[in-house]
């Protein structure tokens, strides 16, 4: 049986859990959906480190007041997920798929208090949503931010959330792998995901993944599962991605990405091989074709599809990107004016 990548928000009433099929032969480039078959102030709070730092029990005590349950009312029913407090101004972060289409959002704290929240903005390309509480509790406790980049495979991690509506549930495990790719709700690719064997289930969506010091290193988002439940393979969106996105959401309510308009794979002899070119895209306008192999971008060597996707992601819509392309045994230079990624 094929394992599916499953966004694991808990859906009640008439709502139905949606799954995402595994990635096919061609992985999605920075800007193109995978083929069918996936400023907010973020300064660190300098909370004193306990002498019991590293203890799961102590980390739980230090962070639980900053972990929340998200209840989203939609026309299709009620969805429940998890989230966490980002700052003292009352901003809360969760997954986009937890609040997608929400008419009303309620944030429940560990002490049982409920506060209504508005959706400041969402980004389906990274599955990140930013909420703002209608009132800020006097004792609000933002979580400290860590670094996913600094994690090593085998490092201990802790997940806190509301699986199956069981608020304040803590599970633990290790970093099983880094730099995994996930399929976003709008079928684009989320890069740099953290893989963990910490138990994650429906309702953990949007909750924090913490390192051994209790710092947020990621946001729990998907599981790979044959049964739809925890099989020991969970994924979290890295904190570096989240902070970039929420800054833009706070400023304008949306996030824009540079767009090339191709599907990519790794060429056998190195470089990024173009599998298809979307009609009317910047790539099509520049004359790129299926079968082309891109070996450099912006003067930097490209060793595969991931490298070209990252080169595009590092730029803004409207920027020009010079590509060195191999086609039918010859090499040519193509300059592409990057566009703005479509929403779907």
Q: Where in the chain is the domain with CATH 2.40.10.120?
A: 1-255
SS3 state of residue 238? strand
* pLDDT for residue 6: 59
* pLDDT for residue 211: 97
**Positive or negative CA dihedral for 231, 95, 155, 48?**
negative
Across 216-292, the runs of DSSP E, i.e. the strands, are 216-225, 234-238, 258-259, 262-266, 272-277
Catalytic residue among 123, 127, 144, 292: 127
pLDDT tens-digit series, residues 61-100: 999 999 999 999 999 899 999 999 999 999 999 999 999 9
* pLDDT for residue 301: 95
| CA separation for the pair 129, 198 (Å, rounded) | 23
pLDDT tens-digit series, residues 264-305: 999 999 999 999 999 999 999 999 999 999 999 999 999 999
Token digits of residue 324? 């060195």
Q: Mark whether 314 is an active-site residue.
A: no
* Residue at token pair 């806190």: 160
Q: Mark whether 205 is an active-site residue.
A: yes
Catalytic residue among 72, 82, 125, 205: 205
Backbone angles phi, psi at 216, to 5 degrees: -75, 120
Q: Output the DSSP codes for 172-227.
A: EEEEEEEEEEEE-TTS-EEEEEEEE-S---TT-TT-EEE-TTS-EEEEEEEEEESS
Task: Please list, in sequence order, all residues whose beta carbon lies within 8 angstroms of the beta carbon of residue 256, skipping any fewer than 6 positions away.
Answer: 248, 316, 317, 340, 341
Given the DSSP bridges, would you call strands 104-108 and 156-161 parallel, antiparallel or unpaired? unpaired
Q: Cα 163 from chain centroid?
A: 19
Q: pTM for this structure?
A: 0.79
| CA separation for the pair 160, 195 (Å, rounded) | 16
Task: For residue 129, give Cα distances in angstroms to 162, 242, 253, 325.
Answer: 17, 9, 10, 37
pLDDT along the chain (344 residues), means of 10: 54 29 28 41 36 75 97 93 98 97 97 97 96 97 97 98 96 97 90 96 97 97 89 96 94 86 92 95 96 96 91 92 95 96 76
* Residue at token pair 């392309």: 325
* pLDDT for residue 32: 47
Q: Where in the chain is the domain with CATH 2.30.42.10?
A: 258-340
Picking from 174, 223, 175, the residue whose alpha carbon sits closest to that of residue 201 is: 223
* pLDDT for residue 344: 64
| CA separation for the pair 19, 5 (Å, rounded) | 6
Token digits of residue 48? 């004193």
CB 130 within 8 A of CB 191: no
Fold (CATH) for 258-340: Pdz3 Domain (2.30.42)
> Containing H/E element for 131?
strand 128-133
* pLDDT for residue 310: 87
CATH 2.40.10.120 fits 1-255, yes or no: yes
Catalytic residue among 31, 62, 97, 144: 97
* pLDDT for residue 4: 54
Q: Mark whether 127 is an active-site residue.
A: yes
| CA separation for the pair 239, 162 (Å, rounded) | 20
């Amino acid at each position: 049986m094929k394992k599916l990548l499953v966004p694991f928000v808990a859906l009640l009433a008439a709502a139905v859990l949606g799954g995402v099929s595994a990635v096919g032969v061609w992985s999605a480039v920075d800007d193109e959906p995978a083929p069918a078959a996936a400023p907010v102030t973020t300064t660190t709070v300098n909370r004193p480190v306990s002498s019991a730092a590293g203890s799961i029990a102590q980390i739980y005590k230090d962070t639980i007041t900053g972990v929340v349950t998200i209840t989203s009312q939609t026309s299709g029913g009620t969805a429940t997920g998890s989230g966490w407090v980002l700052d003292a101004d009352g901003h809360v972060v969760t997954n986009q798929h937890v609040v997608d289409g929400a008419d009303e959002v309620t944030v429940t704290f560990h002490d049982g208090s409920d506060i209504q929240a508005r959706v400041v903005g969402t980004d389906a390309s990274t599955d990140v949503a930013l909420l703002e509480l209608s009132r800020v509790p006097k004792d609000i406790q933002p979580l400290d931010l860590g670094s996913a980049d600094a994690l090593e495979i085998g490092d201990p991690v802790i997940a806190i959330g509301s699986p199956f509506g069981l608020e304040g549930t803590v599970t633990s495990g290790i970093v099983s792998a880094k730099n995994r790719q996930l399929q976003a709700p709008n079928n684009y690719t989320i890069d740099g995901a953290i893989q963990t064997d910490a138990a994650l289930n429906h309702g953990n969506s949007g909750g924090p993944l913490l390192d051994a010091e209790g710092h947020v290193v990621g946001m729990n988002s998907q599981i790979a599962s044959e049964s739809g439940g925890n099989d020991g393979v969970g994924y979290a969106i890295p904190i570096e991605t989240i902070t970039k996105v929420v800054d833009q959401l706070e400023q304008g309510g949306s996030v824009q990405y540079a767009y090339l308009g191709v599907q990519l794979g790794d060429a056998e002899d190195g470089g990024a091989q173009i599998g298809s070119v979307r009609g009317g895209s910047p790539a099509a306008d520049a004359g790129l074709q299926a079968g082309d192999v891109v070996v450099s971008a912006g003067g930097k060597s490209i060793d595969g599809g991931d490298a070209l996707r990252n080169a595009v992601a590092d730029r803004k819509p409207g920027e020009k990107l010079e590509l060195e392309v191999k086609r039918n045994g010859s090499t040519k230079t193509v300059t592409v004016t990057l566009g703005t990624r479509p929403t779907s």
